[in-house]
Amino acid sequence: MVTNESNKLKYYTFENFSPDKLNHGIFTRHGGISPDSFSSLNVGESAGDTRENVLENRKRIFKTFDRPLSSIYDVWQIHSDEIVYTNNPRPSGAKHIKADAILTDSKKVSLFMQFADCVPILVYDPHKILIGIIHAGWQGTITRIVQKTIQFMQENFQCKPEDIIAGIGPSIGPDHYEVGKNVIIEIEDKLSELTAEVLSNINGKFYFDLWKANRLLLEKSGVVKIETAEICTACNIQDWYSYRCEGQKSGRFGVFFGLK
């Protein structure tokens, strides 16, 4: 990934996504106005930060790309395998749809999601001019939301997997992601063919590699152009929010994706 800075906001971009065609950024926690544990570019309200702070922080992110906040399309992220396509922004005040993958082919729409350890996955088909953001924590990963999103793109937009470019963003790394018995059982059940590759036993503790799991799932769907950030949010809480490290008072960092 490449680091960028604009008005004290520091964000990362994938090298494989053409800046001539796309506006995108995985925003660190720097450059916002939120205090304390939310310091400073928190974009989520669920942990108790004020709406005013969150709105100002979101505005700053959108300003980076000269986009109005009214162009936003965001959803209520619920760790599901629900996928939504939109060709319009979410009208101000309209209820959020519950989903964990959002897609658009409209330049009017700015896709936006929030993260703290879960994996942000960006997908782009340069032939069909279609973009998407996927939110995949352990639940989204085992329900194979990335594969379902690629399938959705094939069925509804005739995308070819080999054309699709994917980026796997900063999120909790395998070094920090110890999982307990219920998660292990779910991985063995739902990702049985990948379990040996994505679950490691180190001195009796089990670690789930979300980066590898989502990369392997994308590859199984036929996607070949995949860039992985390999940045662990829990190793780098000076730059990112980490629910695992910071707990319930953890902020959320923003992921922006729009067509130019």
Residues that bind Zn ion (CB under 5 A): 173, 175-176, 232, 234-235
Question: In terms of CB distance, is 129 or 245 closer to Zn ion?
Answer: 245
| Phi–psi pair at 177, nearest 5 degrees | -105, 70
What 3-state DSSP class applies to 92?
coil
Distance CA 253, CA 242 (A): 9
Percent of the chain as helix, strand, coil, to the nearest 5:
30, 30, 45
- Which neighbouring-strand residues pair with 102? 84, 133
CB closer to Zn ion, 108 vs 176: 176
Complex with Zn ion: residue 192 or 201, whichever CB lies closer: 201
Radius of gyration of the chain (CA): 17
Q: Closest separation between CB of residue 233 and Zn ion, Å? A: 8
Tell me the closest approach of the beta carbon of residue 236 to Zn ion, in angstroms: 8
Q: How far is the CB of 176 from Zn ion (least distance, A)?
A: 4
Shortest Å, Cβ 175 to Zn ion? 4
Shortest distance, CB of residue 173 to Zn ion, whole angstroms? 4
Residue closer to Zn ion (CB basis): 212 or 225: 212
Distance of CA 179 to the CA centre of its chain: 20
Contact 256/110 with Cβ under 8 angstroms? Answer: yes
Spatial CA neighbour of 231 closest among 120, 130, 142: 120
CA distances from 211 to 32, 64, 92, 165, 198 (A): 28, 28, 34, 16, 9
Q: Which is nearer to Zn ion, 79 or 176 (CB)?
A: 176
Question: For residues 221 and 233, which CB has a smaller minimum distance to Zn ion in the complex?
Answer: 233
Smallest gap from residue 230 Cβ to Zn ion (A): 10
